[in-house]
Amino acid sequence: MTAQAPQTAQMPENAVEIRDLVKTYGASKVNTEKRALKGISLDVPRGSFFGLLGPNGAGKSTLINILAGLVNKTSGTASIWGYDTENNMRAARRSIGIVPQELNLDPFFTPRELLDLQAGLYGVPAAERRTDEILEAVGLADKAHSYARTLSGGMRRRLLVAKALVHTPQVLVLDEPTAGVDVELRHQLWEYVKKLNKAGTTILLTTHYLEEAEALCDRIAIINHGRLVACDDTKNLLGRLDSKRVTVLLADEINAIPDSLKVFDVTLKDGRELEFNYQPSKVRSGEIVRAVQDAGLRFAEIATKEPELEDIFVQLTSAPESDI
């Protein structure tokens, strides 16, 4: 099974370009006017594995639905593979495959029938369809002739991924693709998506599994209350948080923290565990180790904890809307 790269003569620098994108949902009898997107500008580089993160209600789904052509923007521009989503709608839609959060499948079709129908809607000739390859890739080859209504939730999720791939899009959008998918099948799905990305397909991922985004994405954007609050390479983003933790497990139990160690942000747990939180820009871990030794304490074990994407995410999305 070989992941195929999308074929095109056009090679734009950015697979997706968004400029000053605004979406306002009008007031109704039950809801007041809501501004879901507040002037977002964003570039998704061609060939990247790009993460779009944010808390519930941040505007992620609205942004994706605008790219998919399901929601009309209020103002601003959005283009996919160089095609404006409004002025060149057909070409833009041919360039993108969307895996939605909702399990919107016809229960009376089999996976094979659904993929062939989807390919037909995109004008893919029968001889060029990759139905068997895609079903194998998402682990549904043995369910090719089963009705969709008989599939488990995880299988239906994988079938949505398969549908999004039938026209070999240049950009694949995965909106919470592993929700309800077990660990083994999640691993299988990511292996195939990584092959697609390596072959040239741009991946745009939204997920609440932040450890997935940290492991998979080379670049990450975070939105909160409809505004872009961060966009950077994953490594640079993690480096923004000037915070680390060193945990020292002592060979002998102590009753209190020695006075010489109180210059640090340190806590004592269970009489044998000293936890130091420090800023690498101001303190080196070696200074902490030497201070523990100078205090006459014996080490049993030392462990360090690097900043994680979850720490950055919480820091950037904790501000109330009025402060953004």
Position 137 pLDDT exceeds 70 = yes
pLDDT at position 182 is: 78
Contact (CB, 8 A) for 44 and 13: no
Q: What is the mean pLDDT of residues 79-98?
A: 95
Q: How confident is the model at residue 1 (pLDDT cuts 50, 70, 90)?
A: very low
- pLDDT tens for each residue of 147-179: 999 998 888 888 998 999 999 999 999 998 887
Q: How confident is the model at residue 75 (pLDDT cuts 50, 70, 90)?
A: very high
Q: How many CA atoms lie within 13 A of 181 on its CB side?
A: 24
pTM: 0.80
Q: Report the percentage of the chain scoring pLDDT > 70.
A: 95
Q: 24 is written with which tokens?
A: 């306002």
Q: What is the mean pLDDT of residues 29-44?
A: 93
- pLDDT tens for each residue of 178-226: 876 778 778 888 888 999 999 999 999 999 889 999 999 999 999 999 9
Q: Which domains does the chain have, with CATH numbers?
A: 14-239 (3.40.50.300), 244-306 (3.30.70.100)
Q: What is the mean pLDDT of residues 129-142?
A: 91
Q: What is the mean pLDDT of residues 101-126?
A: 92
Contacts 24+ apart (CB under 8 A), 38-41: 38/225, 38/226, 38/227, 39/76, 39/227, 40/76, 40/223, 40/226, 40/227, 40/228, 41/228
Phi, psi of 26 (to 5 degrees): -70, 160
Q: How confident is the model at residue 45 (pLDDT cuts 50, 70, 90)?
A: very high
